[in-house]
Amino acid sequence: MHIVAVLAKVGLVYIGAIFLIFALFPIRELIAQLPKGKLKTNWITLATLIVIFIVGYLFYATDYWLDHDHNDGFDLVVPFIFFFGGIFVFLVGKLSLKTASDMRKMAILEHQSITDSLMGINNRRYFDQALDDEVKIAKRYGLPLALILVDVDRFKDVNDTHGHLIGDEVLRNLAKAIKNIARESDVVCRYGGEEIAIITPNTSLEKAMILAKRLNETVKKSTMALSCASQEEIYITISLGVSSLNFGEVSSRENLLQRADNALYDAKRNGRDRVVTLQDSEKGS
């Protein structure tokens, strides 16, 4: 019975060590998914501590096995602590990896739900919510807010001449060009079709005009695609309508959006390839 008790105690400790070893696999996979930083360093530290525990488990079990003067009063408390400690760490490692994987999937799904699959920028759903939020913030704190609507001139001609695949490439490169020029605080979204909306928080109409004119000049000078047949460089022009909150007549998201749309319509009607402001729109009416 004595040897059976010894085997039971040593076995529990060894099995606990095995669970610790298996715990390293999900933790190692988790560490590989983490970006460099404090969080990754902490998990590496934890993995190192687990290795130290494994060595301690094995040393304890081996030393107990080789010790022929076992205390008969020694019970199973310590071996069980070692055993369940190993299981605990194993489960923590598995659950941590599963939680991280699920959160990553949720983040990907959330990103996909607010991202336009063609242009790679925020979609109309995101735009509607963002505009609501920015208008509320601007009104609450009395901050300026401007909106720019961008439309590709004669985009149908691009599709008819070069095909829809080239048209899609033009839209993708246009979105990239706008993202490169827009500030980090600006919200760039696909508004619909070949239209792009840019929400510019804490920005006056004058500053929004400067940004819009810069976009107009940059786009017309940039190659947006290459023709499949002739490898001809394809250039486009854009029309832009700009409006801003003034806390008078233009005091809601609907007003802001309608004025920007009116300004864009005037830009298209008056020759395209131009920037029209809210005031310009009103003068033309």
| CB neighbour class for 222 (10 Å; exposed up to 12, middle 13-18, buried from 19) | middle
Nearest in space to 226 (alpha carbons), one of 280, 282, 173: 173
* Whether residue 169 lies in the annotated active site: no
Residue labelled with tokens 């070893």: 21
The Cα diameter of the chain in Å comes to 103
Q: Which residues of 256-272 are buried (b: 16+ CB within 10 A; e: fewer)?
A: bbebbbbbbbbbbeeee
Angstrom distance (rounded) from CA 91 to CA 73: 32
DSSP characters over 202-266: T--HHHHHHHHHHHHHHHHHS--EE-TTT--EE---EEEEEEE--SSSS-SHHHHHHHHHHHHHH
Of 82, 61, 258, 130, the closest CA to residue 266 belongs to: 258
Q: Classify burial at 111, counting beta carbons within 10 Å of its beta carbon; exposed 0-12, middle 13-18, buried 19 or more.
A: exposed
Question: In whole angstroms, what is the distance from residue 144 CA to residue 211 CA?
Answer: 15
Q: Which of 194, 206, 217, 232 is catalytic?
A: 194
Catalytically active residues are 194
